[in-house]
Amino acid sequence: MRIHSNPGSKRGHRPSHSRALLWSLTLSSLLVIPGWSQDASPQQQTQQEATSVVSGTVVSVSPTTTVIKTEGGNYLLVVFTREATKPRTLAVGSVIRVTTVPGETPGTRVARSVVIEKPPAPDAAKTSTEDAAAVPAEVRKIESDIKRQFRRFRAGLRTGVTLDPELIMIGAHMQMGPIFSSDLFFRPNIEFAWGEVSTMFSINPEVIYRLPVTARAGRWNSYVGFGPGFNFLNQSFESGEDRFSDFHSAVGLNLFGGLHNRSGMFVELKASVYSEPAPTLRLIVGYNF
């Protein structure tokens, strides 16, 4: 016996679109509160006002960071923001004077202005190589994380679970940007999910907005986003002579919020509206390379 039915008619328990929207707004708020609390603390506000001037020799440099060896022989990681005033190019071996404020990570400073005091010496290449080898591993680790965080093109993987229906999900994404604004990124992704009677494939051309309540180079950043979701869902079941099979495609609206760690890890909660019978809620854990 073959039975064809519309699963949507059997899903009267599904939450309404308005309830799914309420979920998305509530979950996004819960995710961004930690980011707000990081920025709003009086201690951090005081630190942001504590400027100091540091002089040292450039050991390594990138568009977003530089490691300098101070006059006392210490190695300091300096982060460049878009607001920083600095020369167009910085050469390894140059002696620079940097006006900075404390970074969120101990041992790092955020540059406000950079001035070259002395160009590289003739033997700067040899000296810089020796200094680069002596940079502590923890400084190099933070430098690497920050440089990766500022890449314009990043790939990533994700996994998680969905609710209503309950599925296990894996996926991949590409993050591009910033576009139009220093906090706006385009992040298309694909997701594949499967469960007891359902399998799903989704294409999600989403946009994310980093909430500017913490520094871009901070340990944690919070974000929100939205975008259409193109969902293709197949539901099938077979038991003896009883068979059930139905295929659906639907275009929904994805609303989500998340927390992203500078190391690349992130956690995200996503709610979908107008996407029945695709999942209403997704809990996602992922990594950006």
pLDDT at 262 over 50: yes
Question: Rounded CA gap, 289 and 153, in Å?
Answer: 9
Q: What is the pLDDT of residue 43?
A: 43
Q: Which residue has the higher pLDDT, 33 or 277?
A: 277
Res. 3 pLDDT band, cuts 50 70 90: very low
**Predicted local distance difference test score (pLDDT) of residue 48:** 47
Average pLDDT over residues 254-266: 94
Q: Which residues contact 201 (CB under 8 A, 6 or more apart)?
A: 190, 191, 192, 231, 232
Buried b (16+ CB within 10 A) or exposed e, 105-123: beebbbbbebebeeebeee
pLDDT given for residue 18 in this prediction:
56
CA distance 137 to 126: 20
For residue 7, the one-letter residue type is P
Instruction: Give 15-37 pLDDT, tens digit per residue.
Output: 445 555 555 555 555 554 444 44
The answer to whether residue 7 scores a pLDDT higher than 60 is no
Segment 258-287 shows an average pLDDT of: 92
| pTM confidence score | 0.73
Q: Is the pLDDT of residue 128 over 80?
A: no
Cα distances (Å, whole numbers) of residue 250 to 92, 124, 237, 270: 55, 62, 21, 17
Express as a percent the part of the chain with pLDDT over 90. 44
In CATH terms, the fold of domain 15-37+152-288 is Porin (2.40.160)
Q: In this predicted structure, what is the pLDDT of residue 148? A: 85
SS (H, E, C) the chain: CEECCCHHHHCCCCCCHHHHHHHHHHHHHHHHHHHHHHHHCHHHHHHHHCCEEEEEEEEEECCCEEEEEECCCCEEEEECCCCCECCCCCCCCCEEEEEEEECCCCCEEEEEEEEEEECCCCCHHHHHHHHHHHCCHHHHHHHHHHHHHCCCEEEEEEEEEEECCCEEEEEEEEEECCCCCCCEEEEEEEEEEECCCEEEEEEEEEEEEECCCCCCCCCEEEEEEEEEEEEEEEEEEEECCEEEEEEEEEEEEEEEEEEEECCCEEEEEEEEECCCCCCCEEEEEEEEC
Q: What CATH topology corresponds to 50-149?
A: OB fold (Dihydrolipoamide Acetyltransferase, E2P) (2.40.50)
Q: How far, rounded to the nearest angstrom, does the alpha carbon of residue 192 sit from its chain's CA centroid?
A: 21
Angle between helix 17-40 and helix 42-49 axes, rounded to 10 deg? 50
Could you tell me the two tokens for 260?
A: 């992203």
**What mean pLDDT do residues 217-228 have?**
91
Decide which of 201 and 14 is more confident: 201
Q: Is the pLDDT of residue 88 over 80?
A: yes
Which pair of tokens denotes residue 195? 């469960």
Q: How many CB atoms lie within 10 A of CB 62?
A: 13
**Cβ(129)–Cβ(63) below 8 Å:** no
pLDDT in tens, 172-200: 999 999 998 889 999 999 999 999 888 99
- At residue 28, the pLDDT reads 52
Across the range 229-254, mean pLDDT stands at: 85
Rounded to 5°, the CA angle 209-39-82 comes to: 60
242, 279 in Cβ contact below 8 A? no
Q: How confident is the model at residue 132 (pLDDT cuts 50, 70, 90)?
A: confident
Domain edges within the chain: 15-37+152-288, 50-149
Per CATH, 15-37+152-288 and 50-149 having the same topology is answered: no
Q: What pLDDT was estimated at residue 58?
A: 92
CB hemisphere CA count around 77 (13 angstroms): 24
Region 76-100 average pLDDT: 90
Band of the pLDDT at 108, cuts 50, 70, 90?
A: confident
State residue 281's pLDDT score: 92
Give the position of tokens 């906090």. Answer: 183
